């Protein structure tokens, strides 16, 4: 029969072992908590920075409304993140993306986009970058012609803004052109 001391010793050892396990679990929990805070918390704090601010979203909505009015659209489409589609009365769909600086783009599945495509993109670009259509249109045409001729994306910078075009003779998306201010930040 075990003595009271041996039972007490066994109980003590068992209690110490249980305490150590709890202590180890507490250390593991603390380490995991610290890891989560240092790894996940900064990412969570950065999320609001990725979303458009309410002011920027309001400005983008107002710009989309002006583009819709200028192109004869009934109204802008729904916002999807930082982007809003505007379907002009002519049928050309323009995409306005508002990040650091707004960018407007249009795509075409036609082998050679129509004059209407370029006119609608020029009208929208005038509102986005504040340059006259007469300045934008020839640069946009040059970006398109260069992309077509060289078979690669063409990017032309002009006084703090840029026009770019991409063409693909084989794909469903044959032409994608965009115009926007060059971010200074």
| 8 A C-beta contact, residue 106 and residue 177 | yes
Indicate the average pLDDT of the chain: 81
The pLDDT value recorded for residue 40 is 46
| Least confident window among 26-40, 67-81, 114-128 | 26-40
The pLDDT value recorded for residue 41 is 45
Q: Helices (H), strands (E): how many in the chain?
A: 4, 7
pLDDT in tens, 70-109: 999 999 998 899 999 999 999 999 999 999 899 999 999 9
The conformation of residue 185, written as its DSSP 8-state character, comes to: -
Q: What is the pTM of this model?
A: 0.69
CATH entry, 54-181, from 3.30.1460, 2.50.20, 3.40.1710, 1.10.20:
3.30.1460
Give the whole-angstrom CA distance, residue 22 versus residue 16. Answer: 10
Give the whole-angstrom CA distance, residue 16 versus residue 10. Answer: 10
pLDDT band at 17 (very low <50, low <70, confident <90, very high): very low
Helix (H) or strand (E) run with residue 57 in it = helix 54-70
How many residues are present in the chain? Answer: 185
Q: What is the mean pLDDT of residues 149-161?
A: 94
The pLDDT value recorded for residue 24 is 59
């Amino acid at each position: 029969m075990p003595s009271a001391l041996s039972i007490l010793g066994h109980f003590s050892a068992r209690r110490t072992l249980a305490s150590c396990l709890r202590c180890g679990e507490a250390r593991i929990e603390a380490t995991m908590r610290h890891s989560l805070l240092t790894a996940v918390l900064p990412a969570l704090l950065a999320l609001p920075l990725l979303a458009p601010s309410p002011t920027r979203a309001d400005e983008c909505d107002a710009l989309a409304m002006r583009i819709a009015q200028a192109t004869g659209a009934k109204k802008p489409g729904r916002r999807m993140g930082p982007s809003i589609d505007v379907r002009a009365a002519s049928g050309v769909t323009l995409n306005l993306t508002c990040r650091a600086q707004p960018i407007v783009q249009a795509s075409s599945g036609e082998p050679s986009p129509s004059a209407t495509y370029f006119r609608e993109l020029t009208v929208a670009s005038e509102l986005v970058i504040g340059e006259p259509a007469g300045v934008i249109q020839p640069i946009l045409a040059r970006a398109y012609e260069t992309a077509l001729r060289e078979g690669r994306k063409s990017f032309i910078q002009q006084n703090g803004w840029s026009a770019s075009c991409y063409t693909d003779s084989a794909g469903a998306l044959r032409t994608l052109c965009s115009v926007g201010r060059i971010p200074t930040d």
